[in-house]
Chains A and B, each alone.
Chain A
Amino acid sequence: MSHDIGFWTLQALNALQLSMLLFLLSIGLTVIFGLMHFVNLAHGSLYALGAYFAASLAAVGGYWMGFFLAPVAVAGVGMLLYTGLIKRMRKSGPMAQVLVTFGLIFAMLDLTRIFWGDLALAIEVPALLEGRLAFLGVEYPTYRLFVIALGALILGALAFVLGRTQIGAMIRAGVDNDAMAACLGINVERLFFIVFCVGCALAGLAGAVAAPLLSVTPDMGLQILIPTLIVIVIGGLGSLKGAIAGSLIYGVVQTFGAVLAPQLASVLIYALLAAVLVIRPVGLFPAKG
């Protein structure tokens, strides 16, 4: 099979689109971990919840209502989780955290089934983003370009907030040494709360954005969890750079793996992860050396 340059452009865009979706998910997870040393396996469930909220809201007030309100709703759920569970679990070891959030996965999976049923839901792409655009010599679905642009926008915004603003400096201080940051008069507790909610909102946003591309099913959270974890472990926990690097690596390996070595496509990414862990046990760009 011969492929022209357009084919590779198309695949590169596919890789980028997948990367950006994963970036939206992994950035929340990784910053929460970096700051609070908290492992939230239920992050995927929040993503599924975002998709369900978006589907319900879109049915009432159209796509954009879901797009804007689903992240808010998921952040609300995040608030409840934080005050009810997470706050008390922060000092526990990683295993207790893994288990509590594992329990959350179970509980949230069945709760979505109870509220929304077992049948798959879907959201239509909004009229504005329907169709395709000519881009770099190929026709590419507008909605996918929107996902890429949105990912880039969030990346830019987070880079700005973390790098140039006071709250960003506080977060970085907290990631480096939370005890010291607290001594400097930073309200670490409130910082944790804000970061956790923003992380949840981003997971909800990822769900809302993914819903029109995929189908909304109860197990979508479980399906996305493993890729997200791979992204943050390859990238290194706690850093923006790690999240974006991990997402790009995952997107490229998955997409081009599917094209060039389809038999190995699903094993390839795990092999890569194992290799990274052997060479750099803390990932490529960890927050702390």
Chain B
Amino acid sequence: MKRAILAALGLATGLAVPATAQDIKVGLLLPFSGVYAALGNDIEAGFTTALEQFGSETPATFEIIREDTEVKPPVALGKAKKLILQDKVDVMAGIVSSGVLGAVRDMVHGAGVPLIVANAGNDEATGAACSPYITRMSFSNGQVNRPMGQWMYDQGIRKVYTLAPDYAAGRQMIDGFAQTFTAAGGEIVGQEFTPFQKTQDFGPYLAQAKSSGAEAVFVFYAGGEAISFVKQYDSFGLKADLPLYGSGFLTSPLYVNAEGPAAEGVITALHYVPTIDSPANAQFVAAFTAKTGRVPSEFAVHGYDAGRALIEAVKAGATDRESLANALRLVSFEGPRGALSIDPATNNIIQPIYVYETVAGADGMTQKVLAQLPAEADPVNGCEMAAPVSN
């Protein structure tokens, strides 16, 4: 069965000839239209920033071919096939939604094309569905939220109400938190999953959270839903009695200015905030701001580190699909997020997590880092990693 699928995905008709040694063809597979277009743009800007900044460290040249996934899995798969079979790229990077990653996973694995995941966080991608060709430079849903359980318990919080959109990522984010929070001795007093991208009014859920007897609320929302949620939470005056915690995407730099003062005092955890105090981050923020006029978001840093990882792999001597796949797994460097490395057991990134509070700054909202929680590798989650095989 698996053989059959691989064959259908293109192995049957013979595979690409590697490009000349020092010319690396990169396929960027990102949403440039649809609900995640803003994310796609940030990731692309981060990626090109990295190539501009570190490209001179290697004699290789990089040719970028960008394709729009429209956040539609079938479209994305078609574009991935085009990149692999027609453009014959050496490496692919991007992928924002987990659904899209699920759709292209068998294709890239079967064709043996290295893929640097620059956002999609579903736990399976570096768990049961892991592949030696797929290296994730972004995060996994559980990874971002797991450290928060113990941390909130340590702050003296014992009873929490959770809310998230009703889809895989929402459930994995909340599960990651709930697991460590209850293990530490806390109690989840109520849990609700709201219809994904169909909930305009969070009022009904907020009233429930209020009457649940919780001491705090922990949520995951992203994009437009995050803005609506944070504003509505504030308008009901819940922040004072029932502090709002969450996954850091809730108050991402991409949305926080639309949330405005409503986001003030919200405490969340994420793998990157633009106010991390380090030379590497200062350099990145300066370069990115000069390029786009915006403060970089966590999405921008995914793109940036994906580009950086590619350059590191090329510096290590990789030239074609197979050697790039092998080299990408061994990449480690000090980036804006801190010390990064790849977990050989799952190919997922190992990175520190930052707890931060959103505070009012000189021009708009900004982030105050409260704690840096140590980097931990994800549990293996059923991943059986084989070494890349040669085709």
Contacts and interface: CB of A to CB of B under 8 A. Distances in A.
A–B: direct contact at CB < 8 Å: yes
Interface of A: 1-4, 7, 10-11, 13-14, 17-18, 113, 117-122, 124-125, 131-132, 139, 141, 143-144, 210, 212-217, 219-220, 223-224, 254-256, 258-259, 262, 265-266
Most-contacted residue by chain B among A2, A13, A144 (CB, 10 A): A144
Contacts of B232: 213
Contacts of A131: 237
A254 B201 contact: yes
Contacts of B255: 120, 215
A223 B337 CA distance: 35
B232 to A, nearest CB: 7
A2 B41 CA distance: 46
A255 B204 contact: yes
A18 B198 CA distance: 13
Contacts, number: 114
A258 B204 CA distance: 7
By size class, the interface of chain B is 35 or more
B204 A11 contact: yes
Given A1-B190, A124-B260, A132-B236, A213 B204 contact: no
B13 interface: no
A18 B202 CA distance: 10
A262 B192 contact: yes
Given A217-B224, A220-B224, A223-B198, 4 more contacts: A113-B33, A118-B37, A132-B236, A254-B201
Of all A-B residue pairs in the complex, the 3 with the closest CB atoms, nearest first, are: A215-B227, A122-B258, A14-B203
A121 B223 CA distance: 11
B38 A139 contact: no
Contacts of A141: 235-237
A276 B146 CA distance: 46
Interface of B: 33, 35, 37-38, 41, 190, 192-195, 197-201, 203-205, 207-208, 210-212, 223-225, 227-228, 231-232, 235-237, 254-255, 257-261
Contact of A215 (B203, B235, B236, B258): B258
28 contacts: A1-B212, A2-B211, A10-B207, A11-B203, A13-B203, A14-B203, A14-B204, A17-B201, A18-B200, A120-B38, A132-B235, A141-B235, A144-B203, A212-B231, A213-B228, A213-B232, A214-B200, A214-B231, A215-B223, A215-B227, A216-B258, A219-B224, A223-B197, A224-B200, A259-B208, A262-B192, A265-B195, A266-B195
Nearest to B254: A119
Given A213-B232, A224-B200, A258 B259 contact: no
Nearest to A262: B192
Contacts of A217: 35, 223-224
A157 B199 CA distance: 30
A25 B59 CA distance: 59
Contact of A223 (B200, B235, B254): B200
Nearest to A226: B198
A272 B200 CA distance: 19
Given A3-B211, A120-B224, A14 B38 contact: no
Contacts of A143: 235
Contact of A122 (B38, B204, B205, B231): B231
Contacts of A120: 38, 223-224, 227, 255, 258
A217 B224 CA distance: 7
A123 to B, nearest CB: 9
B342 to A, nearest CB: 31
A213 B35 contact: no
